[in-house]
Amino acid sequence: MSSSIKRFSSMVCALLAVLSTSLQAQPAATATSISNQPIKIVVPFTPGTGMDTIARTVSPRLAERLGQTVVVQNMPGASGNIGADNVAKANPDGNTLLMGANTMLMATQIYKNAPFNPVKDFAPVTMSAYGTLMLVANPKTGIKTLKELLDEAKARPGAINFGSPGVGTPHHMAMELFKAETQVFMLHVPYKGTAGYVQDLLSGEINVGFLPVHVAQGFVNAGRLNALAVGSPKRHPVAPNVATIDELGIKGVNVDMWYAFFAPAKTPVSLVNRLNTELVAVLALPEVREVLGKAGLDAVSSAPAELGMTVGRDYARWGEVIRRNSIQPD
């Protein structure tokens, strides 16, 4: 086993040990009643994002089940760090939740001044949805398959560029992981948001890149992009004919985006479990799954401990990618 793999394995074990200790250390309160104050779900990004869609779809159903008001508050800024920090420092009484995503595990390791630790400062409640990314190429490149992309990238290192909505976004990190596993070099062109990135990918200024599967498939159907692979463990129903990266022989490149609910770290276990029960029930509703599905999101749920294990593993995995590639803020 190589020294880098040993270091990575040790890091994962250490993080999971910290997480397990943190979960066990939460006060074992016996009450399961949340105070009758309004419950606030903080979305650390602007309206219209995947996080916002989930929070606004879930909130009225959660309010109905709990018999109290549930409000969604958008608190964007600093790549999501402002809103997340607000929840990390909130009263741990079950009345404040974070609509989080795996992006916070990346951003807090790229932006070194993050005022919170995403592993230690939150109590995992439940996973809420997955979003699959598809790797695409502009037809002008002549690249129609994943093998053709790899052959071209190996033959001409740096000649192919890839775009993203910005440094540290899932689109960017997915490609860095892909590059690391395939040992190819492609030039990163970061944008200040999604619109410019997609526009240049469609025009051919950008050669390849990752897009959410429901966005990408529309352009693939119109002949404006070529689908190379999806970065999920299994094929996606939106694009059933597009193979996974794993199917095409490249292992370890699972780049699904995930979204989840978190509470402040010292929230009593009893309240976390109550919130988990109600949110799991809401996420299982057919109308909720339908709304999220139309937004390209696959509704899921999990036990708090299961989400905690995912957070620990992904924090270590993305941290390794960030350090190995010396990824810095714009």
**Domain shared by 288 and 300, yes or no:** yes
Determine, yes or no, domain membership for 237.
Answer: no
The more confident residue out of 29 and 196 is: 196
**Span 237-287, pLDDT tens digits:** 999 999 999 999 998 888 889 999 999 999 999 999 999 999 999 999 999
This model's pTM is above 0.85: no
In a domain, 246, yes or no: no
**Domain shared by 145 and 219, yes or no:** yes
16 and 39 assigned to the same domain: yes
Q: Point out the domain boundary residue: 211, 230, 249.
A: 230
- The answer to whether residue 240 sits within a structural domain is no
119 inside domain = yes
Q: Which domain holds residue 137?
A: 133-230
pLDDT tens per residue across span 71-95: 999 998 887 889 999 999 999 999 9
Last residue within a domain, chosen from 178, 195, 230: 230
Question: Do 158 and 109 have their domain in common?
Answer: no
Q: Is there a single domain that holds both residue 266 and residue 183?
A: no
Residue 141: CB atoms within 10 A of its CB come to 17
List, for residues 42-82, the tens digit of each pLDDT value.
Answer: 999 888 888 999 999 999 999 999 999 999 999 988 878 89
pLDDT (mean) for 197-218: 95
Predicted local confidence at residue 99, as pLDDT: 97
Q: How many residues does the chain have?
A: 330
- The structural domain count of the chain equals 2
Could you tell me the CATH number of the domain that includes residue 201? 3.40.190.10
Residues 106 and 143 in one domain: no
Domain boundary among 230, 245, 271: 230
